[in-house]
Amino acid sequence: MPKTIKKLAVLTSGGDSPGMNAAIRSVVRTCAYHKIECVGVYRGYEGLIDGDFKEMDARSVKGIINKGGTILKTARSKEFRTKEGRQKAFDSLIKANIDGLVVVGGDGSFTGALIFNQEFGFPVMGIPGTIDNDIVGTSHTLGFDTALNTVVDAIDKIRDTASSHNRLFFIEVMGRDVGHIALNAGIAGGAEEILIPEEDLGLDRLVDSLNRSKKSGKTSSIVIVAEGDKIGKNIFQLKDYIDENMEGYDVRVSVLGHMQRGGSPSCFDRVLASRMGVKAVESMLEGKTNYMVGLISGKMELTPLDNAIKGKSKINLELLRVSDIMST
């Protein structure tokens, strides 16, 4: 029989994403609803090691559903990667009479949670919080939708200036290993080309495509480049290459950077965070551990953390085709 849960802890770890606060709020309020105690852990696994805890009740999380970032702060903890660090974290949890841990973060945070569970048998549950949408077991990670809206808004603004000056803009968006942000925001922003890590478009095809759109009468163009695209040149080298190999365009670069992580979460992310928090707490109360909550076909489902970590999220091939057709 699993131990009855009377007190849960929640932490945010890894890169922050919009919607983390809404998830904290949901975890805390679901605990209050079920009349169990809840503790917020500051600075991710660093705070777990140091015992940096704060008792939270339903009122502690008022006014945060619309706020970006995370009130609990986040961190990347080297010490938690060591057995000694994890032992300290376990000791802190036991000292505070905590029975289970909800981790809001990305695949690195889940790997840490799983190792922690395997070593100490401590119940853990994951909520996927990252703008990259690179986790298997959910169609949407927390923050992805908000980041997309931020990027599309930026593309729209850049397009205004691009079309006024007949410019070609390369816009770099986040996505070292996956092109979900680039592909979705590129389609929504009407980009002429989208360069993603999953496929190598090749420089020649890029030049051909830009030449084609120029011949078809376009006087300005937007190319979305994911950070990890495989074309072999960084975005500034790309600009130089196009400058040298294409005439008639004034080429500019815009790197959107960390603004993509910030901002008030979208309606979609707030609802998703609220659902995920409820599912995470109630699943732990049912004695479940080592799972991640996620959205699959519109429903809240559990995926074993192991599968979520090892699986590789795939790009939607239909979207790739749509993007090709739209850039005709």
Nearest residue by C-beta to ligand ATP?
A: 108
**Does residue 13 bind ligand ATP (CB under 6 A)?**
yes
The yes-or-no answer on residue 132 being catalytic is yes
In SS3 terms, the chain reads as CCCCCCEEEEEECCCCCCCHHHHHHHHHHHHHHCCCEEEEECCHHHHHHHCCEEEECHHHHCCCCCCCCCCCCCCCCCHHHCHHHHHHHHHHHHHCCCCEEEEEECHHHHHHHHHHHHHHCCCEEEEEECCCCCCCCCCCCECHHHHHHHHHHHHHHHHHHHHHHCEEEEEEECCCCCCHHHHHHHHHCCCCEEECCCCCCCHHHHHHHHHHHHHCCCCCEEEEEECCCCCCCCHHHHHHHHHHHCCCCEEEEEECHHHHHCCCCCHHHHHHHHHHHHHHHHHHHCCCCCEEEEEECCEEEEEEHHHHHHCCCCCCHHHHHHHHHHCC
**Stretches 8-16, 178-186, 200-208, 236-244: which one binds ligand ATP (CB under 6 A)?**
8-16
Q: How far apart are CA 324 and CA 320, in angstroms?
A: 6
Q: Which of 112, 123, 186, 277 binds ligand ATP (CB under 6 A)?
A: 112
Q: Nearest distance from residue 76's CB to ligand ATP, in Å?
A: 3
Q: Which of 34, 67, 73, 76 binds ligand ATP (CB under 6 A)?
A: 76
User: Is 44 or 123 the residue whose CB approaches ligand ATP more closely?
Assistant: 44
Find the catalytic residue in 132, 134, 145, 269: 132
**Does residue 144 bind ligand ATP (CB under 6 A)?**
no
Q: Nearest distance from residue 4's CB to ligand ATP, in Å?
A: 28
**Does residue 323 bind ligand ATP (CB under 6 A)?**
no
Q: Which of 21, 70, 92, 130 binds ligand ATP (CB under 6 A)?
A: 130
Here's the x/- map for ligand ATP, 15-44, by CB under 6 A: it reads as x-----------------------------
**Does residue 146 bind ligand ATP (CB under 6 A)?**
no
Radius of gyration, CA atoms only, the chain: 22
User: Is 18 or 189 the residue whose CB approaches ligand ATP more closely?
Assistant: 18
Q: Which of 14, 18, 40, 265 binds ligand ATP (CB under 6 A)?
A: 14
Q: Nearest distance from residue 314's CB to ligand ATP, in Å?
A: 17
Q: Nearest distance from residue 8's CB to ligand ATP, in Å?
A: 19
**Does residue 260 bind ligand ATP (CB under 6 A)?**
no
Q: Nearest distance from residue 14's CB to ligand ATP, in Å?
A: 2
Which residue's structure tokens are 């590789």?
312
* Catalytically active residues, by annotation: 132
Which residues bind to ligand ATP, rule: CB under 6 A?
13-15, 45, 76-77, 80-81, 105-109, 111-112, 115, 130, 132
